[in-house]
Amino acid sequence: MIKALYPGSFDPLTNGHLDVIKRASAIFDELEVVIMNNPNKAFTFSVEERIAMIKSIITKFPNVTVSAQSGLTVDYAQRVGASVLVRGIRAVMDYEYELQQATANMILNPAIETVFLLTHPQWSFLSSSVVKQVALNKGDLTGFIPPEIKDVILAKYKL
């Protein structure tokens, strides 16, 4: 049985994130979406709001759970018996950052593997920042986010 973690900030979750969840849940026996606390980032949505949004989306994936954690991802992975970290790659810029992170994680805990899933081309432009900019400027979020969380995002921006 292989347990994988999909760590990130998910502020908010996008259709690109959902695509990674769907694909990773088909590969691994268990997948835990992990909202990692990053003190260097300012967040639009609280941890509780992000957990609620993700929970509303993952109901269709029986082997997927969500949690919020802090500290080193590899330490948490070891504590919960996860042997794989899943990361999505959109472009070369993502690869460079993710390669740095994966290499550091390999040094910290060589037993934890990092698996990169390439983003489908239709989501290669999509990020949480893009979603927030579209919402802030009263744009149409259709195609950017799962419909289950549209009302939550719109309410945050009072649209």
pLDDT score at 39: 82
The answer to whether the beta carbons of residues 24 and 117 sit under 8 Å apart is: yes
pTM of the model: 0.94
For residue 17, pLDDT beyond 80: yes
Catalytic-residue membership of 17: yes
Residue 68's nearest CA partner among 155, 135, 5, 146 is 5
Architecture in CATH of 3-124: 3-Layer(aba) Sandwich (3.40)
Catalytic-residue membership of 79: no
Catalytic-residue membership of 120: no
Confidence of residue 40 (pLDDT cuts 50, 70, 90): confident
CA 91 vs CA 86, 88, 124, 127: distances in Å: 16, 10, 7, 11
Confidence of residue 24 (pLDDT cuts 50, 70, 90): very high
Spatial separation of the C-alpha atoms in residues 149 and 151, rounded to whole Å: 6
pLDDT score at 61: 98
Q: Is 153 helix (H, G, I), strand (E, B) or coil?
A: helix
Q: Out of 17, 25, 50, 87, pick the active-site residue.
A: 17
Residues whose CB falls within 8 Å of the CB of residue 103, separated by 6 or more in sequence, listed in order: none
